[in-house]
Amino acid sequence: MSETLHQKEDIEILASEDPGIGLPGRVKLPGYSRTMGPQTHLFAERERLQGLKWQHFDVQQLSPTVGAELIGVDLTQELPQQVIDEIQQALWDYKVIFFRDQPITSEQHVNFASQFGELEIHPFLPPNTETPELVRFEKNDKAGGYENQWHHDVTWRNTPSRGAILRAVEVPPVGGDTLFVDAHAAYGGLDQETKDLIDDLVATHDFFRAFARQVPDEKKKEIREQYPIVEHPVVINHYQTGKPLLYVNRIFVTGIKGWEQKPSFELLDLLCREFEVLEYSCRFRWEPNSIAFWDNQAVQHYATSDYSPHRRVMERASIKGTQPARG
């Protein structure tokens, strides 16, 4: 063996301790708008969630502040009201909850979702033929996935859905995961100057940005009257917890009310980038009969589109909500 393999370069090691010691929390990368370092604003919520105890199921968290798998619940059976109430509380706490190995029918899916509120019907997405309350996402070699941008669902409604329950009917051999991001953590990660700037701003939301192709030309005027452009605060307070949430997305938001287009989209892009911070998110890998139940105010979601031409079939029930509000 050559002696050169054992030779050591004569390099002076200048550091005597970890480079993170002494830094003042997150630091900005020179020349860029992004920061790196500990996400200290997550720590209190992390500790709170770790201390929770549940009576009717066990919990396995997927990340410190968002996402938990509920273990020990059988959705094929009719659940007592106290179990439904505890599932609702777990949803408010973890923002998105997951169930595995739940071979339920479409009818059982609808019945379970109805325990949490009245269900809505989506006018621009195809339903399950037997149960119109279920939207069916059937992807294959002819229809790819276009849900791979962070978003809250149906913010083009005056009263967007409160929550959604998505069930895996058929999954690809690999890929097709769904990610969820904590909208409160995204708001908390903003600097105070940005928070002050956006506190009273209002954004406009329009279904035409995503669904114009689904509307025949001869019906566009009628549908526009039925679903006009709506306004929601850029920052809302959660309807139950009161927590401030960042409430903008790239799919449905058309601008900031009263702002010119260029500065409007520059600000919106800056805000939407907060949802891309990995520490604020969790990732769920689907299996057949897996279920995700998310709070549509508390989280945004992102369905990866990395599985084509394989089939991915999902069904979703959405629960009617109330108008998002600030304060």
Interval 247-267: pLDDT, tens: 999 999 999 999 999 999 999
* Residue-wise pLDDT tens digits, 85-141: 999 999 999 999 999 999 999 999 999 999 999 999 988 777 776 888 999 988 876
Q: Which residues contact 184 (CB under 8 A, 6 or more apart)?
A: 45, 65, 238, 243, 244, 245, 298
Distance CA 186, CA 188 (A): 5
Q: How many CA atoms lie within 13 A of 310 on its CB side?
A: 11
Distance CA 97, CA 91 (A): 6
pLDDT category at 5 given cuts 50, 70, 90 is low
Range 1-29 average pLDDT: 73
Residue 200 token pair: 């009273």
Which pLDDT score, from 0 to 100, does residue 11 have? 83
What's the pTM value of the predicted model, to 2 decimals? 0.92
Distance CA 177, CA 172 (A): 10
User: Would you give the DSSP letter of residue 5?
Assistant: G
User: Cα–Cα–Cα angle for 27, 187, 46, nearest 5°?
Assistant: 80
CB 28 within 8 A of CB 35: yes
Distance CA 236, CA 245 (A): 5
Kindly state which CATH superfamily the domain 40-151+158-182+258-319 is placed in: Clavaminate synthase-like (3.60.130.10)
Residue 114 token pair: 């109805």
pLDDT category at 54 given cuts 50, 70, 90 is very high
Residue 86 token pair: 């505890």
Cα dist from 280 to 3, 110, 140, 177, whole Å: 49, 30, 30, 17
Whether cis (ω within 30° of 0) applies to the bond prior to 172 is no
CB 95 within 8 A of CB 180: yes
Range 160-178 average pLDDT: 96
Range 216-222 average pLDDT: 83
Share of the chain above pLDDT 90, in %: 72
Which pLDDT score, from 0 to 100, does residue 144 have? 67
Residue 68 token pair: 């938990």
Active site residues: 151, 153, 301, 316
CB 247 within 8 A of CB 233: yes
pLDDT category at 7 given cuts 50, 70, 90 is low
User: Would you give the DSSP letter of residue 219?
Assistant: G
Mean pLDDT, all residues of the chain: 91
Domain boundaries, the chain: 40-151+158-182+258-319
Distance CA 252, CA 258 (A): 17
Q: Would you call 85 helix, strand, or coil by DSSP?
A: helix
How far from each other are the two terminal CA atoms of the chain, in whole angstroms? Answer: 72
Q: How many CA atoms lie within 13 A of 286 on its CB side?
A: 27
Q: Which residues contact 272 (CB under 8 A, 6 or more apart)?
A: 150, 248, 249, 250
User: Would you give the DSSP letter of residue 79?
Assistant: P
* Residue-wise pLDDT tens digits, 62-80: 999 999 999 999 999 999 9
Q: Would you call 291 helix, strand, or coil by DSSP?
A: strand
Range 6-34 average pLDDT: 78
Q: Would you call 199 helix, strand, or coil by DSSP?
A: coil
